[in-house]
Structure 1
């Protein structure tokens, strides 16, 4: 499809913290991505496998041959026109929520970034380390600057774990889920068609329900920033 006018999507993500754009990938482009995913050796260290979830961390580094398929002309245009001229990849994950999955995710914000090392720095913390990968909660302005693209490889709705979000929660700083006031907040379920994307700010409160319709939900999650980190700290998955 030709994405002519992206201004309305840009306005929506700025105001509400998320936006859905369908038909970003053609049927054929989605099939090519799935062919690569179906042919990979899933026993590697950065792959997490359980009955409820299969995930690949550092996805674009682990599966470099997928990069050209993911960054089609539409995605490049969206990054440039909605995010900004100088945005680059800082994190990527692939999620496969199987048909029988009982996996559900409680409301949360995405509060950590992936970095190359652990440094004691003012404003950065707490830290976590998993398999030699370092994650840290950075200062608020770093989180506010990030955009996330979630590429949907299956039709997704409330019955197979589409994200539910609280509109405008991205503008409220660190928002603890246990303090959500349901008298003033509303929940929105973000249906996305196969080949569509969801754009999100990481501070938008989001979660997802268990799968009830026996359908898969496969999503490529990529985060972008245009900020350099202070001192000697680097984004661990930085990719232009």
Structure 2
């Protein structure tokens, strides 16, 4: 089978991100949103505020979405872009409301979600958010992870589309305070409803406040094919049927 995603694979490797349109139809997006609206949101994995609604361990909390999310288009993309041995290690749903003033400064995604806290060499520091353990692992694990962000709304710079610094994922741990703007450039990742932004977690990225009174709802799913040390497990390990 021809790899129709080859250009995206090259861009992801070189730039640290790529945008793929038309993975989901408008009807599929509507069905996913209906399932989210109708779930019990009183659990500890749900975060609710004026600026943000989020569901951690989304694929566990809303399992009815699996067949819609992992449609033929997405499973083909995963197989050709990552490989058939990649599995889910984290999933979050974000709803940035129309009036949100939620601003996220430049950062890298430096932690993974795991099932317990253990004192282990090269793992740390540790955090706990909504009963979920997270830890910064060795850099090799972070470099292996790929994130897919499924956009359920048209997203641009006016409603919080990610802004990224291309190629910053190649610089290991890159502290935001060390960004040299005389050498770096910034790109805004506009994505239409039903499309994807795919990125490496070490890519420096940020998100602005919403200014156009439009929602930004995103399903964030991270993938890896690395097994953690025997005593530690991914919090959300899930095999993808390809």
Structures share fold, TM-score greater than 0.5: yes
Distance in 1 of aligned mates of 2:28 and 2:99: 26
Aligned partner of 1:132 in structure 2 is: 131
TM-score calculated relative to the size of structure 2: 0.96
Aligned partner of 1:73 in structure 2 is: 72
Query: CA offsets, 1:89-131, max 9 Å, x none?
Result: 0000000000000001000000000001111111100011233
Secondary structure, aligned partner of 2:229? coil
Distance in 2 of aligned mates of 1:82 and 1:215: 31
Secondary structure, aligned partner of 1:178? helix
For 1:133-172, list aligned pairs within 5 A.
133-172=132-171
Aligned partner of 1:103 in structure 2 is: 102
Distance in 2 of aligned mates of 1:213 and 1:19: 24
Distance in 2 of aligned mates of 1:172 and 1:23: 31
Aligned partner of 2:194 in structure 1 is: 195
Secondary structure, aligned partner of 1:111? coil
Distance in 2 of aligned mates of 1:231 and 1:93: 25
Aligned partner of 2:28 in structure 1 is: 29
Query: CA offsets, 1:55-109, max 9 Å, x none?
Result: 0000001111111111111111111111112000000000000000000100000
**Consecutive unaligned residues in structure 1, runs of 5 or more:** none
Distance in 2 of aligned mates of 1:229 and 1:4: 30
Secondary structure, aligned partner of 1:207? strand
Aligned partner of 2:18 in structure 1 is: 19
Runs of 4+ displaced beyond 2 Å: none
Distance in 2 of aligned mates of 1:63 and 1:187: 35
Distance in 2 of aligned mates of 1:108 and 1:156: 20
53-62 vs 31-40, greater mean Cα deviation: 31-40
Distance in 2 of aligned mates of 1:78 and 1:92: 18
Matched, 1:113 2:112: yes
C-alpha contact (below 8 Å) 2:19/2:197 kept by paired residues: yes
Secondary structure, aligned partner of 1:96? strand
Aligned partner of 1:175 in structure 2 is: 174
Query: CA offsets, 1:118-154, max 9 Å, x none?
Result: 1111110001123332100000000000000000000
Aligned partner of 1:186 in structure 2 is: 185
Distance 1:131 1:217, change over 3 A: closer
Secondary structure, aligned partner of 1:158? coil
Q: CA deviation at 1:4?
A: 6.3
Distance in 2 of aligned mates of 1:178 and 1:80: 37
**Consecutive unaligned residues in structure 2, runs of 5 or more:** none
Q: CA deviation at 1:35?
A: 1.0
Distance in 2 of aligned mates of 1:44 and 1:170: 34
Aligned partner of 1:48 in structure 2 is: 47
Distance in 1 of aligned mates of 2:33 and 2:89: 23
